[in-house]
């Protein structure tokens, strides 16, 4: 299954969970995550010469202040699917920079790991402006 279709499946699964959510604050957070992802996809389709469904080439860099730091595994997952282990994936080449991944537009969580050291998750919008490629900077210790 291609990434775009997989993410649409995750969005559908999240909507099914939202329907059963009893906690109002959590309900609103989950609904906003889905809405944000769909807004990014829609805006990317409107602003891109290639239309809806076109992947964006993403590369990540790990930095400590102004300095680029190498040797980190960089991980990501669609924000709506952070609780799904199989939705998490790693850039094949460690930083910095990483190799490239072609991702559907959307809202993603990124984090970096080197040995036992891991950064917190950072949410990044991928797409929405019609761009064809993006570099993501992650702050590391």
Domain boundaries, the chain: 1-141
Cα separation of 22 and 127, whole Å?
Answer: 32
Contacts of 97 (CB under 8 A, 6+ apart): 59, 60, 61, 68, 135
In contact, 56 and 124? CB cutoff 8 Å: no
Residue carrying structure tokens 């990483």: 98
Angle at 90 between CA 85 and CA 52, to 5 degrees: 85
Return the pLDDT at 59: 95
Q: How confident is residue 10, by pLDDT bands cut at 50, 70 and 90?
A: very high
- Mean predicted confidence (pLDDT) in 121-127: 94
Q: Which of 137, 140, 133, 60 is nearest to 98 (CA)?
A: 60
Q: Which of 99, 141, 80 is nearest to 116 (CA)?
A: 141
Percentage, residues of the chain above pLDDT 70: 98
- Mean predicted confidence (pLDDT) in 20-47: 93
Q: Is 32 left (phi over 0), alpha (psi -120 to 50) or beta?
A: alpha
Q: How confident is residue 68, by pLDDT bands cut at 50, 70 and 90?
A: very high
Q: Hey, what CATH class is 1-141 in?
A: mainly beta
Return the pLDDT at 16: 92
- Please say if the pLDDT value at position 8 is more than 70: yes
**Residue 90 DSSP label:** E
**What's the mean pLDDT when you consider all of the chain?**
92
Return the pLDDT at 1: 53
Helices 3-20 & 24-47 angle (0-180, nearest 10): 150
Q: For residue 133, which phi and psi values (nearest 5 degrees)?
A: -150, 155
Q: How confident is residue 3, by pLDDT bands cut at 50, 70 and 90?
A: confident
- Please say if the pLDDT value at position 53 is more than 90: no
Q: How confident is residue 73, by pLDDT bands cut at 50, 70 and 90?
A: very high
The structure tokens listed for 99 are 């190799």
């Amino acid at each position: 299954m291609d990434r775009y279709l997989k993410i649409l499946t995750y969005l559908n699964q999240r909507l099914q969970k939202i329907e059963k959510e009893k906690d109002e604050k959590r309900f609103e957070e989950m609904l906003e995550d889905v809405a944000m992802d769909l807004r990014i996809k829609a805006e990317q389709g409107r602003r891109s010469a290639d239309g809806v469904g076109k992947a964006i080439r993403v590369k990540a860099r790990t930095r400590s202040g102004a300095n680029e730091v190498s040797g980190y595994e960089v991980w990501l997952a669609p924000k709506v699917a952070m609780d799904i282990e199989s939705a998490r994936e790693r850039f094949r080449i460690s930083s910095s920079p990483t190799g490239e991944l072609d991702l559907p537009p959307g809202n993603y969580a990124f984090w970096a790991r080197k040995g036992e050291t891991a950064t917190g998750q950072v949410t990044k919008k991928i797409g929405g402006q019609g761009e064809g490629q993006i570099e993501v900077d992650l702050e590391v210790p």
